[in-house]
Amino acid sequence: MTDPPAPLLVFADDWGRHPSSAQHLVRRLLGRREVVWVNTVGTRPPRLDRATLTRGFEKLREWTGFGVRARHEEQEQSPGMAIPGLSSPRVLAPKMWPSFRSRPARALNRRLLLRALLPVLEALPRPPVVVTTLPLVADLVGRVPAARWVYYCVDDFGVWPGLDGRTMRVMERELVAKVDSVVAVSDTLQAHVATLGKPSHLLTHGVDLDHWTRPVPNALPPPLAGLSDVPKPWVVFWGVVDRRMDLAVVRRLSESLTAGTVVLVGPRDDPDPALLRLPRVTAVPPAAYADLPALASAAAVLVMPYADLPVTRAMQPLKLKEYLATGRPAVVRDLPSTRPWAECCDVADTPERFAEAVGARLRDGLPEGQRAARGRLAAEGWDAKAVEFERWIDGDA
């Protein structure tokens, strides 16, 4: 009789807040191993602005026991994220100082995290495999009982707009030197990790085809019902609206439209103010993951108008394969993550070509060649990705 696999201890974004790649993968491991998920803060330098205050109030509600349960229940009821027969992991929201910039701040957070974690870890049947998507836990390596440490490198946080880049770079270098293994989500991030002295496994993002191809209602769900008055056809982007957006691309796109609207759906994180003042551009709050297929069905074209920046060259957008799975035309920026999928969508490298491609898709729809090429998605499911991920974090390859 084989022993059960070691538990997992995962440091990442807040469980249930949005469907990150780590959450997709871990959900598929819940049926066969115990998981403790740690909601982690401290990636952004504290500021006296609306976003920081809003996030601060969210964490205070979480630390006092309010808000977490409702968010977990919402995710469990979401047909896109729930997997029949599986429950949520045990979620910890330890109190933390919202910065790691100074040595005293790092020491304080180390003490706070150890105080919250050690009683939980001591109750586990055996030391866990620790997986972190964030460099901020570098000071915990060697201080918590662990079978292995794995860095799941999902972004180059050192160049991400709005983050404490200097601190993230320092702590990532320290973390990579200490961990047993690294899994990276893109070739660019593999090269980045190699400069830090470690080889890594490549695991690109997956897609939940069932979620994106199931029938959707004719009417938009209530959270998106306000879009019914927005002129069609819709050219839709969903995701964080921030400084990664290419103002020149969106401006040229808005100028090229003779009808319809560019609809930006998602949280706003300090985007260029001029972006939201463009004609034929409207921004609305984020939609639930469960509602995005209905939004896609109502869209004429899906777009990713990212700028060509160090942060966008390193990232592997979850939405790329999601866009392709919807069956809708897609126009995306020419980036390392999008080039391998160029036969499945339109890849544009200038504002003019981007706008021309959107115009062609509004006029002609999805070309049959692109539709056929999207058959590749059948081999990109999250279930298969999770099997590979589990093998690597356990050190079996």
Is the pLDDT at 15 greater than 70? The verdict is yes
Across the strands, what pairs with 92?
38
Confidence of residue 245 (pLDDT cuts 50, 70, 90): very high
Which of 69-73, 101-105, 244-248, 286-290 is least confident? 69-73
The whole-model pTM stands at 0.89
Nearest to 319 by CA among 237, 385, 253: 237
How high is the mean pLDDT of the chain?
90
Which of 39-43, 49-53, 241-245, 335-339 is least confident? 49-53
Helix axes 351-364, 247-256, angle to 10 degrees: 40
pLDDT, tens digit (0-9, with 9 covering 90-100), for 28-79: 999 899 999 999 886 666 554 554 545 444 545 554 554 444 344 334 433 3
**Phi and psi at residue 57, in whole multiples of 5°?**
-65, -35
Which of 70-79, 339-348, 360-369, 388-397 is least confident? 70-79
For residues 95 and 109, the answer to whether their CB atoms sit within 8 Å is no
Nearest-5° Cα angle at 181, 89 to 389? 50
Cα separation of the two ends of the chain: 22
Percent helix / strand / coil, the chain, rounded to 5: 45, 15, 40
Tokens 């030197």 -> residue: 177
